[in-house]
Amino acid sequence: MNTIFAVLLLVGGLVILWKSAELLVSGAVGLAQRLGISSLVIGLTVVAMGTSAPEVAASIAGVLQKANGGDLALGNVFGSNITNLALVGGLIALIRPLVVKKLTLQREVPVMLAVALLLWPFLHNSSLARTEAAALLIVFVALILLISYVARKEAQQAKLITSSLEAAKKYDMKSIQKSVIFVVIGLIGLAVGAKMTVVGAVFVFKERLGLSDSVIGLTVIAFGTSLPELVTCVVAAVKGEHDISVGNLVGSNIFNTLLVTGAAGLVKPFDVSPRLAGGIDYWIMITVSAVFAALIIVGRRVVGRIAGVILLCGYFAYIVYLFAFGPANI
């Protein structure tokens, strides 16, 4: 493979990932609206799952591609989580201050922190076995069921189900079929785009620039697979849909930590570098998550523009650290 072809694969893969995720989210949201689900829950589940699909595909492709693909997979998870909260969250706050509901701060944000901390005992021995991956997926399924149950109860209390079902009658079968087609095309495109991105990135950034698998996963692939979150959240911020933005950011991080890590480990058990297995990059991810939560509290449930600048500065400082010190410290 030559450099030009690898670059074309990398760029083409990122474009396909982005466009496919847009189709997936569009179709999934269209279907979810017929179930009478609130915007926050849509953001936490359907949108978060749709925008996290690139991370799932890229991480699985990473562990299947080579023996030490665990660094690529887990680096993608950590990098995507940092990118979501620091880069995407910071940009959203600059566009329009992000308003967070009280229940979200009390419920979903602590869950995001808890599942991130849950990774430490699983990774402390620098490997992830199939049984451990299965345990992460079980926790993930339990959380989804719990969120669905709580959403249903809230909808009943607010008497939203009846009005939602009445609104759903306005959609014809063609609209439903269109949404299903969008979901299917989006999923296929994500798989293709993820494979192209991994192959192109590994060649360009490893073979030509000499970067490690950890840094590749933490930077270029993490950013590329976070593009769906970025686009979705920016559009939602412009429209003032705070619940979609918050739900997408928090939900995507939960999905990345449990679903992406669990799915990759279930497909193929993997080993990881010490810096990812409870090392410095792991704790940077935890710190960014804690700072994001702290900014919500300090801002009285509003992530304002000053907080956005802080998050963005933190993100770019991390990128500088990775390229300046990352390769030498693995």
Task: Assess whether pLDDT exceeds 90 at residue 135.
Answer: yes
Residues 57-84: what's their mean pLDDT?
A: 80
Backbone torsion region of residue 171, taken as left when φ is above 0, otherwise alpha when ψ lies between -120 and 50, otherwise beta: beta
150-154, 233-237, 245-249, range with the lowest pLDDT: 150-154
In whole numbers, what is the pLDDT of the chain averaged over residues? 79
Lowest mean per-residue pLDDT among 5-14, 157-166, 173-182: 157-166
Over residues 180-189, the mean pLDDT reads 80
Coil, helix or strand for 270?
Answer: strand
pLDDT at residue 115 in the model: 93
pLDDT at 107: 86
pLDDT tens, residue by residue, 14-66: 788 778 767 777 776 676 666 566 667 777 777 777 777 777 877 887 788 76
**pLDDT tops 60 at residue 316:** yes
Tell me whether strands 302-303 and 270-271 are parallel, antiparallel or unpaired.
unpaired
Residue 103 has pLDDT above 50, yes or no: yes
DSSP run (H or E) holding 128: strand 127-128
On the question of pLDDT at 136 being above 70, the answer is yes
* Averaged pLDDT, 188-204: 76
pLDDT per position as a tens digit, 273-286: 887 887 888 999 99
pLDDT-above-70 percentage for the chain: 80
Q: Which two tokens stand for residue 251?
A: 């939900």
pLDDT in tens, 156-165: 665 555 555 4
| Count of Cβ atoms closer than 10 Å to residue 66 Cβ | 13
The CA distance from 88 to 109, in Å, is 16
**pLDDT tier at 173, thresholds 50, 70, 90:** low
Segment 136-148 shows an average pLDDT of 89
**252/57: higher pLDDT:** 252
- Most confident range (mean pLDDT) of 10-24, 70-84, 131-145, 222-236 is 131-145
Average pLDDT for 213-227: 69
3-state SS assignment for residue 80: helix
Contact criterion met (CB below 8 Å) for 320 and 218: no
- Name the residue with higher pLDDT: 27 or 317: 317
What is the spatial distance between Cα 255 and Cα 207, in angstroms, rounded to a whole number?
A: 31
The reported pLDDT for the residue numbered 85 is 93
Look at residue 330 and tell me whether its pLDDT is greater than 60.
Answer: no
What dihedral do alpha carbons 208, 212, 213, 215 form, nearest 10°? -100
The pLDDT value recorded for residue 329 is 44
**CA-wise closest residue to 256 among 36, 31, 88:** 88
Tell me the percentage of the chain whose pLDDT exceeds 90: 20
pLDDT of residue 172: 55
Predicted pLDDT at 328: 42
Please tell me which residue, 185 or 171, carries the higher pLDDT value.
185
The packing angle between helices 108-123 and 280-298, to 10°, is 170
pTM given for the model: 0.77
Q: For 3-325, give the CATH class.
A: mainly alpha
Residues found in the chain: 330
